[in-house]
Structure 1
Amino acid sequence: MGIRCFYIILLTIFLMGCSENEDKLDSVSFSSNECEQNWGICTVYDKGKYKNSGDSTVKIAILDSGINSNLAILKGKIKETYNAINKDSETLDELGHGTMIASIIAAEENPHNVIGVNPNAELYDVQVLNSKGGGQIEDVIDGIHWSIDRKVDIINLSFGFEKDNPKLKEAISLALSNDILVVASAGNTLGLYTHYPATYKGVYSISAIDKDLKRYKLAAKGKIDYVAPGVEIPVYNQKGETIIQSGTSLATAYATGVISILMSKEDSNVDLGLTSKSLGKKDDFGLGLLLIK
């Protein structure tokens, strides 16, 4: 247990009169310093207050460039791996993007303040992007089918394609019909269009906002369902370095984390009640900022 967690528990016991044997906190508040360093995590939680996930463990497939599972913040979180490019079980994140996405979703508490939205999530690492960030639709489709076979709860797609593809749409529809939620990046398209598969009906299309709750200047417009933090976000790369990044792909990871917290508290995703704060035009912000309350 980290030093911070230890003192939070002591303080909670003192203030709330908790019993000595109670070791699970319902909530803790992030400090102003933490919120200044990582505005995103404090924004998606109601008034910067962390609320533990529910009893159900949520299985999240991250289709991306792979994940460095050797990093301490991700130790033990990745349950299974699949390389859809090489058709084997070995993934290697040379790009760093997949590890960044995983750190937003599920990083353990660490001194660098890269705090995962849901550290209790189970991750399924599906490599569909190469070292340059490129990917074939056929590999993405294969990764989706692999994820369906593993009966994951959420598929996170922090990338997209400019053009529609019937086979991709069919794979997405199959995932949705298997009660798998699909969360996809709307794209950094300068507001010209929304990427696929985010455009598809039933897929959560996510755009990005900055700390002032303004639209990210490169973000897509059009079919937007929700927005999440995505500008100047602290993340871990594949080398274990803390870097600051921006983009709708990061916002997608935040959205997946928020949705996974809500799913862990519900009996099924059918009655999943998403809470959002309206921010403006639907083409820019959709239903608004996703929140955990």
Structure 2
Amino acid sequence: MPTLTELMEEELRGFGESSARYLIRLRSSANCRDIVRELQATGRSPANQVEALPLINAVFLHLQSPKAFLNHPQVEGVEPDHPLAVIQEKATRLSPGEIRRQASFTRNKPFIPWGIRHIQAPLAWKTATGREIRIGVIDTGVDFAHPDLRDSIAGGINLIHRHLPPLDDNGHGTHISGTIAAGAGQGMSGVAPHAKLYAVKAFDHNGTSFVTDIVKGIDWCVTHGIHIINMSFGMKSYSPALEAAVRNAAKEGVIIIASSGNEGKKGIIDYPARFPTAIAVGATGRNGKIAHFTNRSTQIDIYAPGERIVSTWLNGKYQELSGTSMATSHISGVAALMMAVKPGIGLSSLLAGLQRSAMPISSTARKAGFLGEVNAIRAIRAVARKKPRTPGSRAGAQASAARMPISRR
């Protein structure tokens, strides 16, 4: 039987228009880095055609057909590199004056969008603002020059173009970042205004990506001691590789928070929110009820405001968006507040605190599952009652790390 390296080399020789993106997950008897090094030594591993994914011990490769790998003793599984998309419902462009009026803007003070006021985040700021908590935003990048984000952004990586910084060319990532941790200056304030943001650009200007890019983004976050990963995107297809990445990150103590999706479906939500080691977020509207567009099922862990959310946008501007993406960014901010008062808190304790402190949502739906909307001040009180444990995870162990530069690897 040919070795894995020989099979992959053969596929690279036949690379062409008929080749498609695949992920080959390996058993413990094989090492993805060693295999890619062997391919590079042959001179048959062109850029963007083969790459190691050490977090899940897998190799990304363009294949004409996966058949030769399916029964290989060193292969755990083979799957297509599924596409994903960021999740948003609709956008309304607003002038700065309109936004400030909506947000009850007060001269020389930060304006606070309705969702952040609704979950009572400002009441929590006397106790916690997210200081020293690092949040990875796997998205379209961020507007580094935005006045409300300049002091919040601490680093990141561009996985689409490694030689470039993770600048946002779509807007979605900038919007998400503002809700999470816009700085408390004279512009907008996010839920956790002193948390540090790390822009992990895995989506292009159209808001599209692949599982491979997300796995690489999660790996980067784990390696760089990120505490929370915001995943405001989704896919319908199940990916064993993506689940393995989310599961392995959770084992390292990283909290992953993901959007349920915007199709208004009942009984089903998107991946990765559907994975058991991710916190699944649904959206509520300004009327305090479950938003009409949110996917909902018994797998939803918590709800948050997601309708007509004002946040930061490209070129120093602001924009109003709706979607479970926006709800997810509220939860990531609240999670940062909770971690600030209880460093090293794990997934189960954090989720229990979110749910135990949530405000009830009325619903006539049968088997709707958990129906609670996040409340920031109640959430930090719920976890502050217990004595914090010493951080034991890789993320917790690096809790005092300073700003890190833009990464290219």
TM-score with structure 2 setting the length = 0.60
What amino acid does structure 1 have at the position aligned with 2:165?
Answer: E
- Which range moved further: 275-284 or 203-212? 275-284
Cα offset for 1:159?
0.8
Q: 2:224 aligns with which of 150, 174, 179?
A: 150
- Which range moved further: 50-59 or 216-225? 50-59
Asked if structure 2 preserves the Cα contact closer than 8 Å seen for 1:220 and 1:284, the reply is no
Q: Tell me what 2:358 maps to.
A: 276
Matches within 5 A, 1:212-227: 212-222=287-297, 223-227=299-303
Q: Tell me what 2:335 maps to.
A: 259
Secondary structure class of the residue paired with 2:261: coil
Q: 1:33 aligns with which of 100, 104, 115?
A: 104
Secondary structure class of the residue paired with 1:49: helix
When residues 55 and 71 of structure 1 are mapped into structure 2, their CA distance, relative to the original with a 3 A threshold, is closer
Q: Deviations over 1:126-148 (max 9, x none)?
A: 00111011111110110000100
Cα offset for 1:56?
5.3
Matches within 5 A, 1:72-87: 72-87=147-162
When residues 231 and 55 of structure 1 are mapped into structure 2, their CA distance, relative to the original with a 3 A threshold, is closer
Q: Deviations over 1:224-246 (max 9, x none)?
A: 11010110111111122222111
When residues 278 and 241 of structure 1 are mapped into structure 2, their CA distance, relative to the original with a 3 A threshold, is same
Secondary structure class of the residue paired with 2:280: strand
Q: Tell me what 2:376 maps to.
A: 292
Unaligned runs of 5+ in 1: 1-31
Q: Distance in 2 between matches of 1:188 and 1:161?
A: 11
When residues 218 and 147 of structure 1 are mapped into structure 2, their CA distance, relative to the original with a 3 A threshold, is same
When residues 55 and 75 of structure 1 are mapped into structure 2, their CA distance, relative to the original with a 3 A threshold, is closer
Structure (1 or 2) with the larger CA radius of gyration: 2
Matches within 5 A, 1:1-293: 33=104, 38-45=113-120, 49-52=123-126, 53=128, 57-88=132-163, 90-109=165-184, 114-192=188-266, 193-222=268-297, 223-270=299-346, 271-272=349-350, 273-274=353-354, 275-281=357-363, 286-293=370-377
Q: Distance in 2 between matches of 1:177 and 1:262?
A: 19
Q: Distance in 2 between matches of 1:58 and 1:70?
A: 21
When residues 115 and 101 of structure 1 are mapped into structure 2, their CA distance, relative to the original with a 3 A threshold, is same
Give the length in aligned residue pairs.
Answer: 261
Secondary structure class of the residue paired with 1:74: coil
Q: Tell me what 2:380 maps to.
A: none
Q: Distance in 2 between matches of 1:37 and 1:153?
A: 25
When residues 87 and 65 of structure 1 are mapped into structure 2, their CA distance, relative to the original with a 3 A threshold, is same
What amino acid does structure 1 have at the position aligned with 2:376?
Answer: I
Asked if structure 1 preserves the Cα contact closer than 8 Å seen for 2:135 and 2:229, the reply is yes
When residues 37 and 104 of structure 1 are mapped into structure 2, their CA distance, relative to the original with a 3 A threshold, is closer
Cα offset for 1:171?
0.3
Asked if structure 1 preserves the Cα contact closer than 8 Å seen for 2:134 and 2:227, the reply is yes
Runs of 4+ residues over 3 Å off in structure 1: 32-37, 109-112, 280-285
Q: Tell me what 1:14 maps to.
A: none
Cα offset for 1:81?
1.4
What amino acid does structure 2 have at the position aligned with 1:289?
Answer: E
Q: Distance in 1 between matches of 2:104 and 2:368?
A: 30
Q: Distance in 2 between matches of 1:68 and 1:55?
A: 21
Q: Deviations over 1:139-189 (max 9, x none)?
A: 011000010001111000011111110100000001100010000000102
Asked if structure 2 preserves the Cα contact closer than 8 Å seen for 1:54 and 1:265, the reply is no
Q: Deviations over 1:71-128 (max 9, x none)?
A: 111113222211122234521211100000001011123555x320111101111001
Q: Distance in 2 between matches of 1:181 and 1:194?
A: 19
